[in-house]
Amino acid sequence: MTTLADKALLPTGLEDLVPPRAEIEGRAVEAAVGFVAANGYRRIKPPLIEFEETLLGGPGAATGPATFRVMDPLSQRMMGLRADMTIQAARIAATRLNGEPRPLRLAYAGQVLRVKGTQLRPRRQFTQAGIELIGTDTPAADAEVIMLAAGALEHLGIGGVSVDLSLPTLVPAVCRGLGLDDATTESLILALDHKDAGTVAALAGPHGALLGGLMEALGPAERAVAALAGLDLPAEAATLRDRLLAVLDCLNAQDPTLRLTVDPTESRGFEYHSGVAFTVFADGGRGELARGGRYRATLEPPAPLGIPATSGEPATGMTLSMDAITELLPEPPARPRVLVPAATDPALRRRLHGQGFVTLGALDGAADLKAEARRLGCDHVLEGDHPVAL
């Protein structure tokens, strides 16, 4: 026989939320979805599981190694348990909703699973809430999604929000423009992600000044913009840089108080992004609270080494990490709890709910109703039709 402790054991990276955390998360998800709905994003709900072929196409390819697979006994085809909902939104946009006017604004919330966590974040089930903005490729679209990521956090009561912008395909574009080979490009991407100036200089050779300049064009947006604007980039890279500058202009025009930083060569965690990408943090938040960016809503396989996809529609989107967000949110104010006789009429209970009370039925025929109320964490008992404080 297994012990009680064994029975409580969940697989690493999976957890039970108990009161009040589950309620806090549930409310936060609905509040986030409500906020983006007010901004025109309509909710979709894809299934937890679908054919591997559709789940891992296009931007989904990046999640392949993280995806649990099961055999479908009906079709004998392999299915995947989603590790990300972005690809599902892209699929729905391209199929069921392909007749809707563009830009198409979609929202979703749900659970995703990953085969393994990381050492830093062992979690394997995540609560995602997010949006996708599909069929438009303007700086204003990039800015809208970033504003909504920051705005959703503020709507949930989280202060001290800051957004870090990057261009994960900038370094490959620079290297292509400079005629560097693939091996050098890969090494440079890695060295720039690690801000390893020595290796960057050694790899870049005659282009050391340019790549070193790129690496140093980071920090608060104003400072980074000045440095970036002065760099003499190859054409494709210059276009990416100019887009970033245009997005920063849009953000400043809408909300000059939004805290923005830039790290143009950062590419870690952006597997399928092809334009301006971003992560959102907050003071006191452990790690990132949201991330997103521009990509192509295609179901075709991705091109290697940051060559922009050309199939599918231009798209951008963001996902809120509701697990990390929930950890920052306070417990909702406790509602008064009133113990009522089991036979209390539902209409009277509804009236009490309307007055803000939680009603608990006294089920076990306790002789002393007040003692029973205290035992159950109630602060009132019903006398006649009225709650009386203990």
Site residues for a copy of itself, 289-318, by CB under 8 A, read 299
Contacts of 234-243 spanning 24+ positions with Cβ under 8 A: 234/173, 234/174, 234/176, 234/177, 234/178, 235/177, 236/173, 236/176, 236/177, 237/170, 237/173, 237/174, 237/177, 240/167, 240/169, 240/170, 240/173, 240/275, 241/167, 241/170, 243/139, 243/142, 243/275, 243/276
Q: Which of 61, 69, 201, 308 binds a copy of itself (CB under 8 A)?
A: 69
Q: Which of 134, 141, 240, 280 binds a copy of itself (CB under 8 A)?
A: 141
Would you say 344 is a known binding-site residue?
no
Q: What's the closest the beta carbon of residue 245 comes to a copy of itself, in angstroms?
A: 16
Q: Considering the rule CB under 8 A, would residue 259 count as an interface residue with a copy of itself?
A: no
Q: Considering the rule CB under 8 A, would residue 235 count as an interface residue with a copy of itself?
A: no
Q: Considering the rule CB under 8 A, would residue 144 count as an interface residue with a copy of itself?
A: yes
Q: How many residues comprise the chain?
A: 390
CA neighbor of 185 nearest in space, from 211, 217, 216: 211
* Residue whose tokens read 């980074």: 224
Q: x/- binding map, residues 121-140, to a copy of itself, per CB under 8 A? A: ----x-------x--x-x-x
Q: Considering the rule CB under 8 A, would residue 70 count as an interface residue with a copy of itself?
A: yes
Q: What's the closest the beta carbon of residue 305 comes to a copy of itself, in angstroms?
A: 23
Q: Considering the rule CB under 8 A, would residue 38 count as an interface residue with a copy of itself?
A: yes
Q: What's the closest the beta carbon of residue 43 comes to a copy of itself, in angstroms?
A: 4
Q: Considering the rule CB under 8 A, would residue 286 count as an interface residue with a copy of itself?
A: no
Q: Which of 28, 32, 54, 266 binds a copy of itself (CB under 8 A)?
A: 54
Question: What strand order describes the sheet that includes 277-282?
Answer: 42-43, 104-113, 125-134, 313-321, 290-297, 277-282, 161-166, 259-262, 219-220
Give the footprint of a copy of itself on residues 330-369 (CB under 8 A).
337, 342-346, 349, 353, 357-361, 363-365
Q: Considering the rule CB under 8 A, would residue 77 count as an interface residue with a copy of itself?
A: yes
Chain centroid, CA 123 distance in Å: 14
Q: Which of 83, 147, 165, 373 binds a copy of itself (CB under 8 A)?
A: 147
Q: Which of 116, 286, 351, 386 binds a copy of itself (CB under 8 A)?
A: 116
Span from 92-100, 188-196, 199-207, 221-229 in contact with a copy of itself (CB under 8 A): 92-100
Q: Which of 113, 149, 240, 262 binds a copy of itself (CB under 8 A)?
A: 113
For residue 94, give every residue at least 6 positions away whose Cβ sits within 8 Å of its Cβ, in sequence order, or none.
297, 298, 299, 312, 313
Question: What strand order describes the sheet that includes 49-51?
Answer: 49-51, 78-81, 69-71
DSSP state of 334: P
Q: Which of 20, 157, 220, 287 binds a copy of itself (CB under 8 A)?
A: 20
The DSSP H or E segment spanning 372 is: helix 369-375
Q: What's the closest the beta carbon of residue 348 comes to a copy of itself, in angstroms?
A: 10
Q: 164: how many CB neighbours lie within 10 A of its CB?
A: 19
Q: Considering the rule CB under 8 A, would residue 46 count as an interface residue with a copy of itself?
A: yes
Nearer to a copy of itself, 215 or 251 (CB): 251
DSSP state of 303: P
DSSP state of 48: S
Q: Considering the rule CB under 8 A, would residue 43 count as an interface residue with a copy of itself?
A: yes
Q: Considering the rule CB under 8 A, would residue 11 count as an interface residue with a copy of itself?
A: yes
Distance (Å, rounded) from C-alpha 49 to C-alpha 61?
15
Please tell me the count of residues contacting a copy of itself according to CB under 8 A: 102
Span from 74-82, 179-187, 227-235, 279-287 in contact with a copy of itself (CB under 8 A): 74-82
Q: Considering the rule CB under 8 A, would residue 94 count as an interface residue with a copy of itself?
A: yes
Would you say 79 is a known binding-site residue?
no
Residue 380 near residue 338 (C-beta atoms within 8 A): yes
C-alpha distances (whole Å) from 117 to each of 6, 109, 134, 141 are 22, 21, 30, 32
Annotated binding site for L-histidine: 84-86, 114, 128, 132, 268
